[in-house]
Amino acid sequence: MTDTLARTPLHALHLELGARMVPFAGYEMPVQYPAGILAEHTACREGAALFDVSHMGQLRLEGADATAALETLVPVDVAGLAVGQQRYALFTNDEGGLLDDLMVVQREHDLMLVVNAACKAQDTQHLQQRIGHRCAVVPMPERALLALQGPRAVDALTSLAPGVAALRFMTGGAFVLAGAECYVTRSGYTGEDGFEISVPADAALALARALLARPGVQPVGLGARDTLRLEAGLCLYGHDIDAATTPVEAGLAWAIQKVRRAGGAHAGGYPGAAVIDAQLAAGPGRKRVGLLGLEKAPVREGAPLLDDAGRTVGRVTSGTSSPTLKQPVAMGYVESAFAAPDTPLWAEVRGRRLPMRVARLPFVPHRYVRG
């Protein structure tokens, strides 16, 4: 590893646990531990998985105008958030493309944002340049971020703070965990029930050890994080979504609430609103779809997608062999005429054509706790 890679507060713990470290978004991160990706994937689906996601960017927006200011950059209803409510959001550009996807939670005195690791520098600059005159944009590099995911995550976390059991999907609150003041949201990137925990960096190691000491909790790296999120049908920025992809093409129109759409109480006013509203009305020319491989060979990012006549009608953006389904799964973009479930397609891989069919997302049902 080069000395130029940043390290999270849990770096020494990863080495102690035998992790294989790789460069990712400018950080030295664990891709897997000795148990291996398949075992780690299964641990999250059946038990509890602890991820170090401290490479992600955490920021807060402070000031009376913060909510209205943020709505000028995202097509999301921020004003409608109650204290403790979280929402998935999108930074858009003037063409309606996606600069990043992020999480926003309304806390008692501020808005807290979590952005993607590879985008956090540009996102921070974007916020400061566009709305820094209207509210304080405060990066939080002094905070680490842990994700505890899986059906036994709630048992592990409530052993440290019983009150977290009252949280429901996409809500958050302040809790003391292992002696540290933390902010916990019931959310994640695996499709399972779970939590994301913002913790002071100097307290992250003690909290991670406390969680790993709980029954059923295992450390999990980036490898299984990717197979889990793909089975859950969740986008990876820079692969499934990017600056040339609109929310409507990406199947993320559900994140644009009615009040932000044409005719809504506070419609538009964000970059690319006209493009996005036009696509919401008329439909996009291409769509993100799920794809099931009908042979054993996995289909990876970049593979062209062909129709029965051999014409290229799309491209794969993420692909793997699903540990849960035990068959290849992928996501990609196809012309809208080929986006219906069960549409047969062919993926071209090293000169071979592999049969696939369009499938509904997610591949593995979400198990969020909503009620």
Q: Domain segments of the chain: what residues? A: 1-284, 285-362
- How much is the pLDDT for 241? 98
Fold of 285-362: Elongation Factor Tu (Ef-tu); domain 3 (2.40.30)
Altogether, the residues listed in the chain come to a count of 371
What's phi and psi for 107, nearest 5 deg? -95, 180
- Is residue 153 over pLDDT 70? yes
The pLDDT value given to residue 130:
98
φ and ψ at 109, to 5 degrees? Answer: -120, 5
- Alpha-carbon distance values, 351 to 297, 313, 327, 333 (Å): 13, 17, 21, 20
Q: Identify whether the C-beta of residue 197 lies closer than 8 Å to the C-beta of residue 164.
A: no
The model's pLDDT over 307-333, given as tens digits with 9 standing for 90+, comes to 999 999 999 999 999 999 999 999 999
pLDDT at 16 over 60: yes
Pairing of strands 194-200, 143-149: antiparallel
Predicted confidence at residue 365, as pLDDT, reads 98
- Assess whether pLDDT exceeds 60 at residue 2: no
The span from the first CA to the last CA of the chain, in angstroms, equals 45
Per CATH, 1-284 and 285-362 having the same topology is answered: no
Q: Among the residues of 29-138, which ranges form H helices?
A: 37-46, 66-71, 120-131
Q: Give residue-wise pLDDT tens across range 246-282.
A: 999 999 999 999 999 999 999 999 999 999 999 999 9
**pTM, to two decimals:** 0.97
- 163-175 pLDDT, tens digit per residue, is 999 999 999 999 9
* CATH dotted code for 1-284: 3.30.1360.120
What is residue 1's predicted lDDT score, i.e. its pLDDT?
A: 45
- Tell me, what's the pLDDT at 371? 79
24 pLDDT more than 60: yes
What is the pLDDT of the chain when averaged over all its residues?
A: 97
Structure confidence by residue, pLDDT tens digits, 213-239: 999 999 999 999 999 999 999 999 999
Give me the sign of the Cα torsion angle 35, 37, 40, 45. negative
* Whole-number pLDDT of residue 3: 63
Cβ atoms of 106 and 84 closer than 8 Å: yes
Q: How far is CA 209 from the centre of its chain?
A: 25
pLDDT score of 147 more than 50:
yes
DSSP conformational letter for 190: S
**Parallel/antiparallel/unpaired status of strands 352-359 and 48-52:** unpaired
Q: What is the 3-state secondary structure (H, E, C) of 152-216?
A: CHHHHHHCCCHHHHHCCCCEEEEEEECCEEEEEECCCCCCCCEEEEEEEHHHHHHHHHHHHCCCC
Residue 204 in this model has a pLDDT that exceeds 70: yes
Residues 35-87 pLDDT 10s: 999 999 999 999 999 999 999 999 999 999 999 999 999 999 999 999 999 99
